[in-house]
Amino acid sequence: MSHLSIKLTDSAIRKALLNDDVSELVGIGSSFILRPHKKRLSATWYLVMYKASSRQRHKIGTWPSLSAERILKAKEELLLSVATNRPPLLNEWVYIGELLHWYLERSSIDRSLSIKRKRNIKSSITKHLIPLLGGEKISEVSPSFIEDELIWPLQGKMVVSTVRQHFVLLKRAFKVAFKQERLTHNPLSDVVFTDFFDCKMKGKPSALLPQHLESLWSHLLEQKTISGRLPGFMLMHGTRIGETRQLRWSYIDWRSKRLVIPEFLTKGKCPEHVIMLTPNAIQWLHEHRELQLSKGYRGVYLFPGEVRATCLNENQANQVIREVSGGLWQSHDLRKLARTMWIQLGVDYWVAERLLNHAMTKLDEVYIHTQAEGQKLNALSLWHNHIYKL
């Protein structure tokens, strides 16, 4: 093992790590050493203490996340921790803004997140969390701090459900940082959103009710454009707008009369979504293809976008909903109405959950393969027979 004594600066550390023969860096005139990692792009900080002639090493954190300047400034704090039998650890960051910038960068390259989710994270962090909390120290975080600096300022200008989304994102950032040992403790681990409000969180009521169904369905059948038929398909099957706008003809198995939405298109942890095609649905799809051909479209998508070889993008799909609804309802209201009607028609709760493709329990995942497809087909047949008789 080769030791090298250096003055503890980031530039000196970086230069020393270029020497593959060096296995330990010793800070001149300090109690700190560094052990290089395999690729020699980073290293682990240790605080070295002697007790009863015994050399003891205490892990502090990782360089370059913890800079030499940061370590040296925290020397007294670290020595006190050891003296009081506490782990001599340091947060990787001092300010909340630093943590949030790290989480934003991490999220931006997380391939498990959808483009929409990444955009929402960026908006929340840059427009709300950092402006309100960025300059505050992580060490100051407490329930009262969160209420005074985040919750109450936000609830004065937006609905409570939106405030909750920003809080949940902040809590998620702290949780991930703590699990990766970038924080010595998580000050938000026991804080829940309901700590700040007495009222129970309520979902937004649907703008579409059962009494609207007849006129709504008639209106949807009257749509003569390819994209204008999007909400009709959504009401028939209870699908989400994000997955519906991206549907391809290749997802349909005409022989088995099934449409399979791949898992990478579904929301969050939801599995691939198998839609059993009723005779009414098959007729609707044939009519839709004929409409496409009459308009000169022979591409792969059910709902093509304005740019060649693309589907409707998020903004275009939302614009379709606004135009068809006249601004009176939103895409999610179609799912809510479908769910309400399924219950009124006697569809079992579990079957309705499968039609909506909500995330399943482990037991559901086993049961679904043997029971669900037939029950979903029966439920959709009942539903389609009902609306086509209106």
pLDDT in tens, 259-310: 999 988 887 667 788 999 999 999 999 999 999 999 999 999 999 999 889 9
**If you average pLDDT over residues 88-98, what whole number do you get?**
81
- The angle that helices 213-221 and 331-344 make with each other, rounded to 10 degrees, is 120
pLDDT tens-digit readout, 42-55? 898 998 887 777 88
pLDDT tens-digit readout, 99-128? 999 999 999 999 888 888 899 999 999 999
Angstrom distance (rounded) from CA 227 to CA 326: 15
pLDDT at residue 66, as a whole number: 82
pLDDT at residue 251, as a whole number: 97
Helix (H) or strand (E) holding 336: helix 331-344
**What are 218's two structure tokens?**
């008639």
Angstrom distance (rounded) from CA 305 to CA 319: 12
Burial code of 270-301, b = ≥16 C-beta within 10 A, e = fewer? Answer: bbebbbbbbebbeebbeebeebbeeeeeeeeb
pLDDT at residue 87, as a whole number: 67
CA angle 132, 133, 137 (to 5 degrees): 155
Q: Quick one: pLDDT band at residue 200, thresholds 50, 70, 90?
A: low
pLDDT at residue 222, as a whole number: 96
Question: Is residue 366's pLDDT more than 80?
Answer: no
Question: Is residue 250's pLDDT more than 60?
Answer: yes
Backbone φ/ψ region at 85: left (φ over 0), alpha (ψ -120 to 50), beta: left
Q: Which of 78-92, 211-225, 360-374 has the highest mean pLDDT?
A: 211-225
Q: Quick one: pLDDT band at residue 350, thresholds 50, 70, 90?
A: confident
Beta strands in 180-310 (DSSP E): 252-253, 258-261, 273-276
Lowest mean pLDDT, pick from 89-93, 140-144, 201-205, 292-296: 201-205
pLDDT at residue 191, as a whole number: 92
**What are 146's two structure tokens?**
């969160």
pTM over 0.85: no
pLDDT at residue 241, as a whole number: 95
Question: Is residue 64's pLDDT more than 90?
Answer: no
Q: Which domains does the chain have, with CATH numbers?
A: 2-83 (3.30.160.390), 96-195 (1.10.150.130), 210-388 (1.10.443.10)
Mean pLDDT of the chain: 89
Question: Is residue 387's pLDDT more than 90?
Answer: yes
**If you average pLDDT over residues 325-329, what whole number do you get?**
95
Question: Is residue 21's pLDDT more than 80?
Answer: yes
